[in-house]
Amino acid sequence: MNYAEKIIDRITIWAIVGVLFLLPLFFLPFTADFYDFNKWVLLLGSTLVILLLWALRTVLSRSIVLTFSSNILGFALLTISSLATLLIVSTNKIDGLTNSLGLATFSALTLLSLFGSHVFTPATKKYLRWGLFASVNIIGLLALYQFVGLGKTIAPASFLSSTRWTPTGSNLTAIVIFCITLPLLIS
């Protein structure tokens, strides 16, 4: 492996870690949908970046590197299920395609895990966990600050006046993220 391939692998690792860190926290308060649409665009955009990095590495190394795991199989099955639902059941194909739990999301997750997982070793997977834990801790601290009422006094934005505001969009999604990461944190 030459120096350019190592640099591309390092960029790929940090791009995936950065996306995993940013995804639960990312929102834009100046768009119509603060949360879901922006997270969806971030996921699709980062998947395209990872795909381009993988293609550049493939050209430089003159070999195709793909890693298949149970994670990829699970995402692929979700993608196939979403495609079948889109083709058979959905009356509005565009809405089914661009829904936050639609075909584009599961396809992006499948491609991200297929083209990005080849750079992760057991030692570098700890960066993924730490990025996820850091973002979940930030969400927890923000939820605590909002519950206490500090959000109103620190930032004058109207959406921060609610004591139930979190960057995930709702308290339920914050609780789901906490419940998902709790077994990872314990292990």
pLDDT digits (tens, 9 = 90+) for 138-171: 999 988 888 887 767 776 677 777 778 888 888 8
pLDDT above 80 for 76: yes
pLDDT of residue 135: 94
Task: Output the six-digit token pair for 166.
Answer: 């979190």
Where does the pLDDT of residue 92 fall: very low under 50, low under 70, confident under 90, or very high at 90 and above? confident
Residues 6+ apart with CB under 8 A from 98: 40, 104
Cα–Cα dist 120/126, whole Å: 10
pLDDT of residue 155: 66
Where does the pLDDT of residue 30 fall: very low under 50, low under 70, confident under 90, or very high at 90 and above? confident
Number of Cβ within a 10 Å radius of residue 163? 14
Cα–Cα dist 107/80, whole Å: 9
Q: Tell me the CA distances in angstroms from 50 to 20, 55, 59, 157, 173, one per residue in order.
A: 13, 9, 14, 34, 26
Where does the pLDDT of residue 99 fall: very low under 50, low under 70, confident under 90, or very high at 90 and above? confident
pLDDT of residue 34: 84
pLDDT of residue 77: 93
Where does the pLDDT of residue 7 fall: very low under 50, low under 70, confident under 90, or very high at 90 and above? very high
pTM for the predicted model, two decimal places: 0.86
For every residue of 36-79, DSSP letters joined together read HHHHHHHHHHHHHHHHHHHHHHHHHHTS------HHHHHHHHHH
